Amino acid sequence: MTSIRTSVCIVGGGPAGLTLGLLLAKRGAGVLVLEGHEDFEREFRGEVLQPSTAHLLDELGLLEYITAQTHALLEAGKIRVEGEEVGEFSFKRIAPQYPYAIWMPQPIFLAALLRKAEPLPTFRCWMGAKVTGLIEEDGRVVGVRGTRHGREPFEVRADVVVGADGRYSAIARLGGFTPAYEHHDFDVIWFTIEQPPGWSSTFYVSFGDVRGLMLPKYPHHIQAGILLPTGEWRRWRQDGVAAVAERVRRFDPIFAGFAAGLKDFTPFFPLEGVIRFVRDWARDGLLLIGDAAHTMSPAGAIGVNVAIATAAVAAQELYPRLGRGPIAHDELRAVQRLREGDVRTLHRLQLGVQRVLLGQGPLAKWLFPKVLPLFLSSPLLPLVQRRIFFGAPLPPLDPAFSFREPAPAVSRP
């Protein structure tokens, strides 16, 4: 069995886990990231970095590095009703300092974070490392145990274990964490098609008899998601492939060819639209961040961005507390105190967006296309969008976490 000691053991090599590991290793803290998958080449949904993340990356001196990777800039989102564009919202109106969202395939983003971190002498990442248990002493978490590549047992001891392993967090389950609230009002049924000629590669919200989202997907595809009340997808499947194909056609005319070729349900990937807030993100020696602590629904495409913001706050709070053994619950809870208000507000906004997206009944269907153009031109819209896409200001980050090269000293005569 492999047994090692490190300052910080991060379970989960997603955006939150790798961001936290990168920032702590930048300061010289010993970091081990345990990622359960063998590589990053799998199906992802969160591939849009909103203006809030562009701002944070800029503060950290990483924006130029990240935008040197394969990406596209999305400068506006568009609204479609029954297949016709009826309006748009411009990121310039929402966040003039960063008037775009960054569309980047998540495998490329994660690989870029890992490449930035690997040269740092105190950073390690084990791929294919699955955690199966917590190591506890006197009620405190002092490490984790698991296996690498399905056959090599390991134990890791650390000042703090950080659960950054997503919405289905094994660490949250093993640690006995419980939600303060949880909502599961809808599911998103994802599928992918090639972009038709002349398609504008940006973010779309589509309203009509069937409602959903359309996002760009690398290299020249559309990732489409139909929004359905919880349990409705099961009823759709019971109606058969032909009935589902007809509903996909009603989602948007661009899907007519996809619908005509449907033979079974294998092209569809359901994702639960869960909103969850863990009551207490910490125990002695153990902290949850990202979706493990505050699961965001797909509404607004903000989950990755909220997770990265929490990771940055966690780095700043953890660093000065390392080196003295397991970090106490009350000290770890500082991360939640700093992030809780923003996350709860975004959850409330997501619930409001969901109610709009799931609007049902003949009156709503008749009235919505008439009211929507008025709402799109309202001065309130940019304020709401700025709050969703730009988030609340983070606490000032110590410049020591930044990768920006210091300005050269000015010589004086």
Asked whether residue 217 carries a pLDDT value surpassing 90, the answer given is: no
* Phi-psi sector, 150: left (phi>0), alpha (psi -120 to 50), beta: left
User: Look-up: residue for tokens 């999305």?
Assistant: 74
What tokens appear for 28 in the block? 């010289």
**What count of Cα atoms within 13 Å lies in the side-chain half-sphere of residue 140?**
16
- What band does 46 get if pLDDT is binned at 50, 70 and 90? low
Mean pLDDT of the chain: 89
For 221-373, where are the E strands, in sequence order? Answer: 221-229, 269-278, 282-283, 286-288, 294-295
- Measure Cα distances from 148 to 114, 131, 151, 158 in Å: 18, 9, 6, 18
Cβ-based neighbour number of residue 112 at 10 Å? 19
pLDDT in tens, 23-36: 999 999 999 999 99
- What band does 48 get if pLDDT is binned at 50, 70 and 90? confident
Structure tokens belonging to residue 344: 């709860």
Q: If DSSP codes are grouped into helix, strand and coil, which group holds residue 67?
A: helix
Least confident of 21-35, 124-138, 357-371, 395-409: 357-371
Per-residue pLDDT for 407 more than 80?
Answer: no
Q: What residue has token string 């008439």? A: 370
Res 361 pLDDT > 60: no
Which residues, listed in sequence order, are joined to residue 129 by a DSSP beta bridge? Answer: 148
Task: Check pLDDT > 70 for residue 44.
Answer: no
Q: How many CB atoms lie within 10 A of CB 118?
A: 12
* Kind of pairing between the strands at 123-127 and 101-103: unpaired
Residue 31 pairs in a beta bridge with 8, 123
In this prediction, residue 45 carries a pLDDT of: 61
pLDDT, tens digit, for every residue of 174-184? 999 999 999 99
Least confident of 22-26, 48-52, 343-347, 350-354: 350-354
The pLDDT value recorded for residue 29 is 98
Instruction: Tell which phi-psi region holds residue 337, choosing left (phi > 0), alpha (psi between -120 and 50) or beta.
Output: alpha
- Mean pLDDT in residue range 108-125: 97
CA separation for the pair 76, 74 (Å, rounded): 6
Q: Which residue has the higher pLDDT, 57 or 359?
A: 57
Q: Is the pLDDT of residue 372 over 80?
A: no
For 240, the token pair is: 């058969």
pLDDT digits (tens, 9 = 90+) for 233-291: 999 999 999 999 999 999 988 999 999 999 999 999 998 889 999 999 999 999 999 99
Task: Please report, for the chain, how many H helices and E strands are present, in that order.
Answer: 14, 19
Amino acid at the residue 180: A
Its sign, for the CA torsion 80, 85, 87, 91, is positive
What share of the chain has pLDDT > 70, as a percent? 91
Q: What is the pLDDT of residue 359?
A: 65
